[in-house]
Amino acid sequence: MCERMVELVGIGVHNWKEPEAPVIVDGTLGAGGHSEAFLRAFPTAIVVGLDRDPDALREAGARLAPFGPRFVSAKTRFDALPETLDSLVASGDVPESVRRTGVAACFFDLGVSSMQLDREERGFAYRTDAPLDMRMDPELPLTAADVVNTYSHGDLARVLKTYGDERFAGKIASAVLREREREPFATSGRLVELLYATIPAASRRTGGHPAKRTFQALRVEVNRELEALERVIPAALSCLPIGGVAVFMSYQSLEDRLVKRAFSEATTSRTPAGLPMELPGTEPEFKLLTRGAERAGPAEIDANPRAAPVRVRAAQRIRQHTFRPHQER
């Protein structure tokens, strides 16, 4: 869906009014594929790539070096977007217009990157035996092994149910607690074996790999992914000028629901129901650029099976109120 992402981000770039270069934020830099597409498509733009993974920053930096100062990167979790932009303005890496007006577009490709999945030693993939790590930032204190080996039954079951939508969360948590008393978990292979033994055979035959939901839940818990997403959505929307665009690619329903709810609130009038016209200052500040959640087509899924679960939502700022009653409280 890279062409579609370029098209949506381009709406914000083409609406840029400032004399200084438009800035595009790639909040999930990864290997730099989307940033490269933006840099090639919009030759006057500056792309700011954010990632907490030093391997991603190193690889993307090498890939995008030919673009010179048009590409700027920062090691940070994407919900630190406002502070990061302030710092980059102060250092002169991005134009002053960012502080005054904002950015032309913000783009987020959520979840774990293909680069991280393909690195066996990172422990994200359940099809290979590897250290039970799952940290996007190796400096984080908590690993997936820590969650499995130290969480109480209730906390572990909550994580599996809430973040993985795992039907057998309680049963898996019980099995984990029994097994870790014999020996703490250190590798993904041993956890996968336990999941195969715990999840009923009938359920294993549908819904994909039996470890998929548990590994997703552990990854989200370790990296506080939903917490970061809840914080970055309003931050991203607030840094857009009129005409600016925010684009989110989600791969799981929890992420997509958060984006959908935030976009719904941003695109809904705050005029009380029943009034014949909208009250000044209560009109929606954004409009949706996607009808519902856009999905990858069959041809793209055939070429890239990892695109199958993707859901894309985009919104554009259409007005900016100077007076917001809800902010007075």
Q: Is 34 annotated as a binding residue?
A: yes
- Tell me if 78 is assigned to a ligand binding site: yes
76 in Cβ contact with 56 (< 8 Å): no
Buried/exposed 252-286: b ≥16 CB within 10 Å, e otherwise: bebbbebbbebbeebeeebbeeeeeeeeeebebbb
292 is in an annotated binding site: no
Nearest C-alpha neighbor of 270 from the set 223, 215, 314, 326: 326
d(CA 141, CA 37): 34
Residues in the chain: 329
State yes or no: 326 annotated in a binding site. Answer: no
244 contact partners, CB below 8 Å, separation of at least 6: 12, 15, 102, 103, 104, 105, 106, 316, 317
Q: Is 32 annotated as a binding residue?
A: yes
> Could you tell me the CA-to-CA distances from 235 to 79, 100, 186 in Å, in that order?
7, 15, 37
State the Cα–Cα distance between residues 300 and 289, nearest whole angstrom: 21
On whether 51 is known to bind a ligand per the annotation, the reply is yes
Annotated binding residues? 32-34, 51, 78, 109, 116
Annotated binding residues for S-adenosyl-L-methionine? 32-34, 51, 78, 109, 116
